[in-house]
Amino acid sequence: AQKVTQAQTEISVVEKEDVTLDCVYETRDTTYYLFWYKQPPSGELVFLIRRNSFDEQNEISGRYSWNFQKSTSSFNFTITASQVVDSAVYFCALSATGGGNKLTFGTGTQLKVEL
Amino acid sequence: NAGVTQTPKFRILKIGQSMTLQCTQDMNHNYMYWYRQDPGMGLKLIYYSVGAGITDKGEVPNGYNVSRSTTEDFPLRLELAAPSQTSVYFCASSAGWGTEAFFGQGTRLTVV
């Protein structure tokens, strides 16, 4: 069975602070994919990044960066110099083998960025 | 490009009523999904399909049914609505394993 844990329910920061959202996953499969999605107040789900289990390179995209560590089963997401527009719920998700590309989601982290 | 389109966006049902949530995608994706999102619980998979004519249960299928007669459409049927089915429902599609899922705008359903 697959499991994704996002222990941080809510985080509040002041604009321009850096913030890291934690994601810990469990799977017995050796091949799997990890994802991050953003859900702004408008409610839609926006894809941010995908990482496969064989690629442990960290990735940076503008103010966003992701740290994947198989040794600790973690796929953490850092926002540098946060902005009010980053306020959203962020979900980490796992797709393991077994057909269907089914996503197992964490419970999400509500990020509030204030002026 | 429309992507994944869900209708309706909002609906209020009385206990025991039935309804169908419509979902269509124009990306020629084989895989389609229905998730429900309850407050503080993340998204749970209700049903999924890997191609026309093929459907399978997800984590929380009770009280729902689906069909997949075409690649584009994947409707979700609620037969006897119950208050526990009050939720936000998302339809999604993806091209294959390991690819990102594209989500519809969601349907906010309230059962009273």
Q: Which residues of B touch A25 (CB under 8 A)?
A: none
**pLDDT tens track for B42-78:** 899 999 999 999 999 999 999 999 999 999 999 999 9
CA B5, CA B19: separation in Å to the nearest integer?
Answer: 17
Average pLDDT over residues A56-83: 93
3-state secondary structure labels for all residues of A12-81: EEECCCCEEECCEEECCCCCEEEEEEEECCCCCCEEEEEEECCCCCCEEECCEEEEEEHHHCEEEEEECC
The residue type found at A29 is D
CA A4, CA A92: separation in Å to the nearest integer?
Answer: 7
Query: Which one of B9, B99, B100, B102 makes the best mutation probe of the A interface by having the most chain A beta carbons within 10 Å?
Result: B100
Partner residue opposite A52 with nearest CB, options B42, B48, B98: B98
**pLDDT tens track for A59-70:** 888 999 999 999
Task: Decide: helix, strand or coil at residue B85.
Answer: helix
Asked if residue B106 lies in contact with residue B9, where contact means CB atoms within 8 angstroms, the answer is: yes
Partner residue opposite B96 with nearest CB, options A50, A101, A104: A101
pLDDT tops 80 at residue B25: yes
